[in-house]
Chain A
Amino acid sequence: MNNMDKTVVIGVGNLLLKDDGIGVHVINELEKCELPPDVEIYDGGTGGFKLTDLMQDAERVIFIDAVDTEMLPGTITTFKSEDVRSVYSMKKYSLHDTNLLEVIKTVEILDNPPEIIIIGVQPETIDYGMELSIKLKDSMPDIIDTVLNLLLVTKLKPGNKKIMDNSMETKLP
């Protein structure tokens, strides 16, 4: 049974691989913000299929992840799984063959799955290290704005299942 008002925000990625950890860095920033009620935020790290357990009773889920869209570093693309034609895991750094879209597909097996939105951030540097690149640090306020705007829509439309139509949005740095 879904909680009609619950929105879950999950930042994913590896904190040890610079910009790959952007989702987790965003969660750390969101912890300092005042968020609407019925919003839960999670550091999803590299949880793979474990992430499904954070999503099962939510009405809406917003993921923040590093996504390579071949655009300028810091570009923010907000999309849904149905917007994606194909997805590749990068050979060089892949731990999980399980990528985020497969996790989302798994949750969609369930009856009455949540609405799922992905905020993808184009990384500049994926390499060993715990610091974000300057470009992604600069993008942080815009990423936070993107999340908060989505949560604001949730607040303005209580009980509405969908908070985003199917058109993608891209925000250049």
Chain B
Amino acid sequence: MHDFHVGIEHITRVEGHGNIVIDVKDGKIKELRMEIVESPRFFEAMALGRSYREVAHITSRICGICAVTHTTTSIKAIESALGFAPSEQTIRLRKLLLNAEFIQSHILHVYFLTAPDFFRVGSVFGMVKDNKETVLRGMRLKSLANDLCALVGGRHIHPITLKIGCFSKSPRPDDLAAFRERIINARPEIQETVEFFKTLKNPEFERETEYISLTNPDEYALYDGVIKSSDDGNTSPDDYIDRVKEFMVTHSTAKHAKSGKDSYMVGALARFNNNHEQLHPRAREVADELGLKHPCYNPYMNNVAQVVETVHCFEDSINLIDELLSNGIEEEKAEFTPKTGRGVGATEAPRGTLYHEHKIDDDGKITYANYIIPTGQNLANIENDLRSLVPGILHKERDDIIMDIEMLVRAYDPCISCATHLMKVKFVNE
């Protein structure tokens, strides 16, 4: 196919909306752009003038799927500005809560959004007829993770126990021990998940890019670390602005980002490429079983990296619960006197590194806020992948080309703008 034009409105099954326009003439790409039909984010402006105590609850509302990560990152930025270091117990509980968010988000993505592509059924509902038990397994694992979120975070959606300095309420040891057993009992279903994804073959495509994630000498970095570039070494989160260079493009209202190269990737595959040796041993075995080899330059394999991370987060949660139980769990309190300061929080969200920067004054009011979400960082890289992918698949049928393009975008698990879902309905009787 020498001439090809496609305008794909609303890449379905991604969280947010993006249109893709690709124009090929005589086998050459004339135009390729991922249009983001979203308003710029004004969430930073909403934080200005608010108390430093309120801002985490506001940012938890930016996204219902990554609410734990937004809240945690916001709190870390405020604690940094106040010069406060939380206790080991608080850090372990935050890590446990973050694991719960990773599991539910990854399970949702791979079962509900990615898997239907392999069956060519359009949505997860199309899988119910022939693969109902698979869908139900995905729902059960998602529910397990959400129950962990409720146990530690106080509720299933938008956690309320996360506070600056500590948790407002700690989970009871008995409940944590019981949950440990639930995870152990879920291992067969986790393995069935691995077996299921072994049967799904991702498209073959490679393009090496720069991979950016947090890294931490002590663990597979999700909660905390310094910023690692696969090309260019490490950077302190305080200097994130030197690493994440945001820029505007005319065809998108969302900011794009680059670092050393003209684009970079964040998310599960970037974390795997940067830190795979620190994954739990069982997760490394799963990576081998699923054919994910280090380094991996195939962005479609982000889906597989998410399955690997799911296994890691389950096993890491068992270890965290053991540590919490053996050290004993106490109710904690933390008091602060606000003072002028600047703080940066950097945390891995399921979709990649999330940055929150806050400045506060002596009254504890927010005077500056900057939030950089993962998907904004991936947009330029998605476009570069598409520029590399499309010329090599023009020999395929049109529908297959479109499927390859959509699957690539979905593999990034984009969450283009953290906003909402207002339904516009037409009724049967209208």
Contacts and interface: CB of A to CB of B under 8 A. Distances in A.
A45 B16 CA distance: 16
Contact of A109 (B43, B58, B135): B135
Contacts of A99: 421, 423
B6 interface: no
Nearest to A70: B424
Interface string B139-150: 100110011000
Interface stretch (B80-88, B179-187, B401-409, B411-419): B411-419
Given A49-B112, A53-B146, A95-B15, A89 B45 contact: no
A95 B132 contact: no
B124 interface: yes
Nearest to A17: B420
B429 A16 contact: no
A50 interface: yes
Interface residues of A, number: 59
B61 A95 contact: no
A93 B425 CA distance: 15
B422 interface: yes
Given A79-B427, A83-B428, A49 B108 contact: yes
Contacts of A46: 61, 63-65, 157, 420-421
A67 B421 CA distance: 10
Interface in A71-96: 79, 82-96
Q: Choose among A50, A89, A126 the residue with the greatest number of B CB atoms under 10 Å from its CB.
A: A50
Q: Is the interface of A mostly helix, strand, loop or mixed?
A: mixed
Contact of A98 (B15, B143, B429): B15
A168 B38 CA distance: 33
Contacts of A85: 425-428, 430
A50 B132 contact: no
A163 interface: no
Nearest to B19: A91
A84 B424 contact: no
Nearest to A129: B46
B158 interface: yes
Contacts of A128: 39, 42-43, 45-46
B67 interface: yes
A91 B125 contact: no
Interface residues of B, number: 55
A109 B128 contact: yes
A14 B420 contact: yes
A21 B427 CA distance: 23
Most buried by A among B108, B143, B158, B418: B158
A166 to B, nearest CB: 10
Contact of A13 (B15, B37, B420): B420
Contacts of A84: 425-428
Of A90, A95, A105, the most chain B CB neighbours within 10 A belong to A95
A121 to B, nearest CB: 11
Contacts of A53: 142-143, 146-147, 156
Contacts of A123: 422
Given A20-B422, A53-B146, A86-B425, A94 B108 contact: no
Contacts of B418: 95
A48 B157 CA distance: 9
Given A45-B157, A53-B156, A94 B420 contact: yes
Contacts of A90: 422, 424
Contacts of B45: 128
A120 interface: yes
B13 interface: yes
B419 A89 contact: no
B17 interface: yes
Contacts of B389: none
7 contacts: A45-B61, A46-B63, A50-B142, A89-B423, A92-B39, A95-B15, A95-B16
Interface of B: 10, 12-17, 37-39, 42-43, 45-46, 58, 61-65, 67, 104, 108, 112, 123-125, 128, 132, 135-136, 139, 142-143, 146-147, 155-158, 415, 417-430
Given A46-B63, A50-B157, A120-B425, 8 more contacts: A52-B139, A83-B427, A84-B428, A85-B426, A92-B38, A95-B419, A95-B420, A110-B139
